[in-house]
């Protein structure tokens, strides 16, 4: 994972072109993370990785970036932005259900189908459970956002959060169990 902290510091110091350099620096990484996240969505998902990154970037402030403390702060905000985009799309699809019987065409031209789609209803339930976890234990919720919504590995998420890999492993195991229990409650 590239170190973007110096770029963020430059941006915070008033460098007007720093936001442009920042997106150039992190774009490929964010797009790869978005592609990994979207690969777990249901087949025929209309949101593409590039669109997810662009929408998240705009929600982060676009060219008028806020003050970022460090890489951790930036990636936590990026995870939250991607999460919100995906949740809004799921809610829109779930509410409308128009044209659901029509065949879907992949816009990326690959024709790839994903093996383990996540139904919109499950994504919405996960979002609600994650909001509750964020109230109870914010660091664990941040870890889940980085792992699930951004697609970071345990090692990279631990680095972003400034914790050891073993601590991240333990927190990940706890958060997964906690969320699993909450999701069971929501299904009843």
Mean pLDDT of the region 153-177? 91
Task: Show me where the domains of the chain are located.
Answer: 5-99+107-187
pLDDT for residue 3 is more than 50: yes
More confident residue, 166 or 123: 166
* pLDDT the model gives residue 168: 94
Cα-based torsion angle of the residue sequence 127, 131, 132, 137 in order, rounded to the nearest 10 degrees: 120
| Mean pLDDT over each residue of the chain, to the nearest integer | 76
Tokens coding 92 = 């829109």
Chain segment 99-136, per-residue pLDDT in tens? 444 444 333 333 333 334 456 677 778 888 888 999 99
Answer for the pair 86, 80: CB distance below 8 angstroms, yes or no. Answer: no
Cα gap 14→27, rounded to integer Å = 21
What pTM, to 2 d.p., does this model score? 0.55
């Amino acid at each position: 994972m590239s170190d973007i902290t110096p770029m963020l510091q430059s941006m915070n110091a008033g460098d007007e072109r720093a936001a442009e350099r920042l997106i150039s620096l992190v774009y490929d990484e964010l797009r790869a993370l978005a592609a990994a996240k979207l690969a777990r969505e249901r087949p025929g998902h209309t949101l593409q990785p590039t669109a997810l990154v662009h929408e998240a970037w705009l929600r982060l402030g676009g060219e008028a970036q806020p003050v970022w403390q460090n890489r951790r702060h930036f990636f936590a905000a990026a995870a939250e932005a991607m999460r919100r985009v995906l949740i809004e799309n799921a809610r829109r699809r779930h509410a409308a259900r128009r044209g659901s019987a029509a065949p879907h065409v992949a816009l990326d031209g690959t024709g790839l189908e994903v093996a383990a789609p996540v139904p919109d209803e499950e994504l919405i339930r996960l979002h609600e459970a994650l909001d509750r976890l964020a109230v109870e234990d914010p660091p664990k919720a941040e870890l889940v956002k980085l792992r699930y919504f951004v697609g970071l590995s345990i090692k990279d998420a631990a680095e972003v959060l400034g914790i050891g890999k073993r601590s991240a492993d333990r927190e990940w195991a706890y958060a997964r169990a906690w969320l699993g229990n909450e999701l069971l409650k929501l299904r009843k």
